[in-house]
Amino acid sequence: MPPDQPRRGRPRAFHDQTDQNIIKSLDRALVVLQALADQQSATLSHLAQSLDQSPATLYRVLLTLQQRGMVDLDEAAQTWHIGAGAFLIGASFLRRTALVDVARPVLRALMEATGETANLGVERGDQVLFVSQAETHETIRAFFPPGSLSPLHASGIGKALLATWPEDRLNRHLARRALERFTPHTITDAEALRDELRQCAARGYAVDGEEKNLGMRCIAAPVTNAMGDVVAGISVSGPTSRVDLAATGALATEVVRAAQALSAAMGARAEPAR
């Protein structure tokens, strides 16, 4: 290809990233989307204040995004939220992400082996973002659709991830946010959570015993990549009527096995048997 001929899909000025090539209105809209994603929900006035933008301008941006389904307005609470359109675009990214693609058969095998719903989650902004799932055939089941978020401290995958964190990172996490209570079983004391995480690290898996949702139990283990970094957690979740304490050991064996299989598929070295 001649040096002065542009590549398909990009103009001659592709490498020029000066302000003249930035569409400011589009950039502003993306800033708004990112702010809503970070805050989960916000009123117009709060969003305008946090972004240092005029409410009138911001309202036009939000209306434009709403037309495309990228944001939604809760009329009763007058709060704006990320819309389904944004999720659909994000889902297209997930479809090309190696982790999600590689995990799909592992999740299916874990679901078949345990009879319970298998989940894959990653850390996002101090929460667990569920990115894939293989649902059980049972009528009563756990359901965490891709795109769902759950606090780290009240989630099986979340605790499996927290248990791998170095102490200084865990300290910073606990210092900047309170441990919200969701059920009578939620761990809301920092020291009690530290003790729980030490047990998780020692046995190689975490258990969410009705800590986020009453009547549901989850067993999870961390997934690593070729560099040894923890990149995700894998779990099985189900009603306590089936996933009782007596079943925990056998289910944990399957979950840890699945986590090791997915880690190996991501290039991780095999861990010595516990």
Vertex 174: Cα angle to 263 and 252 (nearest 5): 35
Name the band, by pLDDT with cuts 50, 70 and 90, for residue 141: low
| Residue 4 clears pLDDT 60, i.e. is over it | no
Q: What is the mean pLDDT of residues 234-258?
A: 92
Q: Tell me, what's the pLDDT at 103?
A: 93
Instruction: Order across the sheet with 230-239: list the strands.
Output: 149-151, 127-134, 117-124, 230-239, 216-224, 206-209
Going by pLDDT thresholds of 50, 70 and 90, the confidence category of residue 90 is confident
pLDDT of residue 21: 63
pLDDT tens per residue across span 18-40: 456 678 888 888 898 888 888 88
Q: Write down all domains in the chain, each with its CATH number in brackets.
A: 19-88 (1.10.10.10), 97-265 (3.30.450.40)
pTM of the complete model beyond 0.75: no
User: Going by DSSP bridges, is the β-strand pair 127-134/206-209 parallel, antiparallel, or unpaired?
Assistant: unpaired
Supply 7's token pair.
């590549």
- Residue scoring higher pLDDT (124 or 192): 192
Half-sphere exposure in the Cβ direction for 159 (13 Å, CA): 33
Q: Would the pLDDT of 171 be above 70? A: yes
